[in-house]
Structure 1
């Protein structure tokens, strides 16, 4: 395919040399035989400057402050509570998602609710704590993490959905030896979706 008196391979190489940051003097003396052999290895990726290596890109993005060892995004919420030397066992627990459903939802389907977790308003965490008093329970709830400590048990639970940490309630049932923690699920798109 000849255009304007030269081959397309020569035109691509000339364009590549114009766009690249490296200047090679050897490319000017290319003959027809060299063009045919160079055509086999030349593609659209060879036009322009060579791509940066992954190490250069990753170090440029990571260095925000020279004294920072890590960013807050790299540390999972609740990891400060992990203590591998603590011998206390984890109690049995169950996470139940709850939603407010009326007769118009059950029989007519007017509010567009379905049984999926996207339509749930609250989360109930049932924790079995045998041989524990209500005064021994220390509970700390963050947006995505629940931390429970007693004399015999420890539980660090990463919650499946973000919650309103100040809008929940906890109730201890002595006869069942169970703590029920009800947390309201934070849904920022509910006003649009529902």
Structure 2
């Protein structure tokens, strides 16, 4: 704290000059060794300063980078690869949508198994089993593909593609036949 007046509590004897560690008492001069000014704060790679005084830390980092002749402490490829962080709401929404995709996969499996008796005249067993597993894995493949391909995109782009997948990959056999079947 800058001043003793900023303390939350005040006690008898607080005005004693020996209690002030960083600054001399009012009216008294500093006698003795003074502390050197603290060195400017530095942050590890990948961290950024926020809040009060963060401008000074950012200015110090920029001055160090310009003095060393580099524009950044990491290679341009590594800076390009880093994805923007998701906020709390986006992270929760992504988890909920991922859960819906998992339910879709289960719905495709159950609905496909319900259709197994009805498909005998349409396709052979090998083709049916292959398409059943492909349909079951389609929601999971879509979610992971959207997650990987929209890493460096805006958050709304990711959610638009996830919403498109929710509409396209609706498990129609489960919706039409239900869990019990007809």
Question: What TM-score do you get using the length of structure 2 for normalisation?
Answer: 0.21
Larger RCO (alpha carbons 8 Å, 6+ apart): 2
Which structure has greater helix proportion? Answer: 2
Which structure has greater strand proportion? Answer: 1
Question: What TM-score do you get using the length of structure 1 for normalisation?
Answer: 0.20
